[in-house]
């Protein structure tokens, strides 16, 4: 029997509200692993007080003072909760000696969980580290702040019993960065949940007089949002019926000028939706776009959840030439373009003019989407765990 104890940060396995890409991956992988007859998955869930800073409203000085006191008390309370949970987790780890599951960086953003990882290595408790991102992600698309110290990142990758990486390109980069020796590693990209298959039960079909373009995800630097907006602005002058839907929040690197263009446009609609609403939102789309800037090295290693959700919707996909995306066997369902305004506009224009190409792309994606489910990803990890257990 394989006993997995997930060291998490919150109530992920029992939370139907927070469906970020990180939460989605953790929830579906662990749920699918728990479906194997010889696997048990357990975790200690806990709730925390909300962070007042994230509520963000402007307040009077007096209210800000009260909020400061509340914030301090909340942080203290949350740290007490995290410490108590860590002590309970340490007891379970030492008593049961399961396979300790850490999602990186999520699980290790608190010092309490970092101590649990150290405990596992000292006491020779086997560990699995599922690598979602590395420190380079913060500089590439974030604000530069990363919650896990550099040496802790290196230590985790060196000392983990089994590593899970999104793709071989990411793993080779990590090996070179930290001069790692060969060790057990499983390649498990992100995946798509069954809700997309239910919502999109057939390949893409045309709707006369409609051409809706869609991007899902955070709007930040290096994700090509400016390129996409500028390309569609050019095309809108030629094809005034097109619409661009941006589904996601603003983040670092989006200028005020670009925000103003988006928010005042006659053909661009930006909204934020819970992840549970994404499958239905894609129903009226005709082209799904991932315009990441491949000149940013990190984005050539990424395996964004959205690309597999696009596949799950069986809609034509336009993406830039990031190396990790080119490694997906899309059977012709992707159209790749250079990171160029002229090339992006030309490719979208071609798809507007040639609906038969869109139809064929949709059929190809429909034919491969079963290969990209979370169940398939979990099966890779399951067999990797079995291999390590046999070896040891």
The Cα-based distances of 97 to 94, 124, 156 in angstroms read 5, 9, 18
Q: Helix, strand, coil % (nearest 5) of the chain?
A: 50, 15, 35
Instruction: Please tell me the distance from the alpha carbon of residue 72 to that of residue 24, in angstroms, as a whole number.
Output: 30
CA-CA-CA-CA torsion sign (279, 107, 11, 31):
positive
Pick the CATH number of 2-191+373-391 from 2.70.180.20, 3.40.50.2000, 3.40.50.261, 3.40.50.300: 3.40.50.2000
Q: Which two tokens stand for residue 17?
A: 């509200």
What totals of helices (H) and strands (E) does the chain contain, helices first?
15, 12
Among the residues of 126-247, which ranges form H helices? 136-141, 150-159, 168-178, 194-199, 225-238
Please give the chain's pLDDT, 392 residues, in tens.
999 999 998 766 555 555 688 889 999 999 999 999 999 999 998 877 776 544 444 444 556 555 655 677 778 888 899 999 999 999 999 999 999 999 999 999 999 999 999 999 999 999 999 999 999 998 899 888 899 999 999 999 999 999 999 999 999 999 999 999 889 999 999 999 999 999 999 999 999 999 999 999 999 999 999 999 999 999 999 999 999 999 999 999 999 999 999 999 999 999 999 888 999 999 999 999 999 999 999 999 988 999 999 999 999 999 999 999 988 988 999 999 999 999 999 999 999 999 999 999 999 999 999 999 999 999 999 999 999 887 66
> Nearest Cα to 144, choosing from 221, 218, 217, 219?
221
- CATH superfamily of domain region 194-372: Glycogen Phosphorylase B; (3.40.50.2000)
Contacts of 329 (CB under 8 A, 6+ apart): 368
Instruction: Please tell me the distance from the alpha carbon of residue 336 to that of residue 326, in angstroms, as a whole number.
Output: 8
Q: The pTM is what?
A: 0.90
Instruction: Please tell me the distance from the alpha carbon of residue 254 to that of residue 267, in angstroms, as a whole number.
Output: 19
Q: Is 126 strand, coil or helix? A: coil
Burial of 32: CB neighbours in 10 Å, binned 0-12, 13-18, 19+: buried
Domain ranges in the chain are 2-191+373-391, 194-372
Cα angle 364, 365, 366 (rounded to 5 degrees) comes to: 90
* Domain 194-372 in the same topology as domain 2-191+373-391: yes
């Amino acid at each position: 029997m394989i006993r997995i104890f997930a060291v998490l940060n919150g109530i992920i396995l029992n939370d139907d509200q927070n469906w970020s890409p990180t939460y989605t991956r953790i929830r579906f992988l662990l749920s699918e692993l728990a479906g194997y007859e010889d696997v048990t998955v357990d975790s200690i869930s806990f709730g925390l007080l909300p962070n007042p800073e994230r509520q963000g409203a402007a307040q009077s000085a007096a209210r800000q003072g009260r909020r400061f006191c509340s914030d301090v008390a909340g942080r203290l309370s949350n740290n007490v909760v995290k410490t108590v949970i860590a002590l309970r987790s340490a007891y379970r780890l030492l008593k049961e000696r399961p396979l300790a599951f850490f999602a990186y960086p999520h699980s290790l953003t608190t010092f309490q969980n970092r101590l649990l990882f150290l405990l596992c290595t000292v006491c020779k408790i086997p560990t699995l580290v599922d690598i979602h991102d590395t420190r380079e992600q913060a500089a590439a698309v974030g604000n530069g702040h990363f919650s896990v110290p550099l040496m802790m990142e290196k230590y985790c990758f060196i000392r983990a019993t089994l590593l899970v990486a999104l793709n071989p390109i990411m793993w080779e980069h990590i090996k070179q960065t930290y001069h790692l020796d060969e060790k057990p590693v499983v390649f498990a990209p992100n995946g798509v949940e069954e809700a997309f298959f239910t919502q999109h039960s057939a390949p893409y079909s045309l709707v006369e007089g409609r051409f809706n373009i869609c991007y899902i995800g955070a709007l930040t630097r290096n994700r090509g949002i400016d390129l996409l907006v500028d390309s569609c602005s050019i095309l809108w002058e030629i094809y005034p019926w097109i619409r661009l839907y941006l589904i996601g929040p603003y983040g670092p690197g989006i200028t005020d000028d670009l925000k103003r263009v988006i928010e005042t446009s006659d053909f661009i609609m930006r909204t934020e939706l819970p992840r549970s609403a994404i499958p239905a939102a894609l129903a009226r789309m005709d082209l799904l776009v991932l315009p990441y800037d491949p000149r940013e090295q990190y984005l050539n290693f990424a395996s964004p959840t959205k690309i597999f959700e696009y596949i799950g919707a069986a809609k034509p996909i336009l993406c830039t030439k990031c190396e990790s995306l080119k490694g997906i066997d899309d059977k012709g369902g992707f159209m790749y373009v250079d990171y160029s305004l002229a090339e992006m506009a030309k490719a979208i224009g071609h798809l507007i003019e040639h609906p038969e190409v869109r139809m064929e792309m949709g059929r190809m994606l429909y034919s491969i989407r079963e290969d990209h489910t979370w169940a398939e990803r979990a099966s890779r990890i399951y067999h990797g765990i079995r291999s390590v257990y046999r070896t040891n």
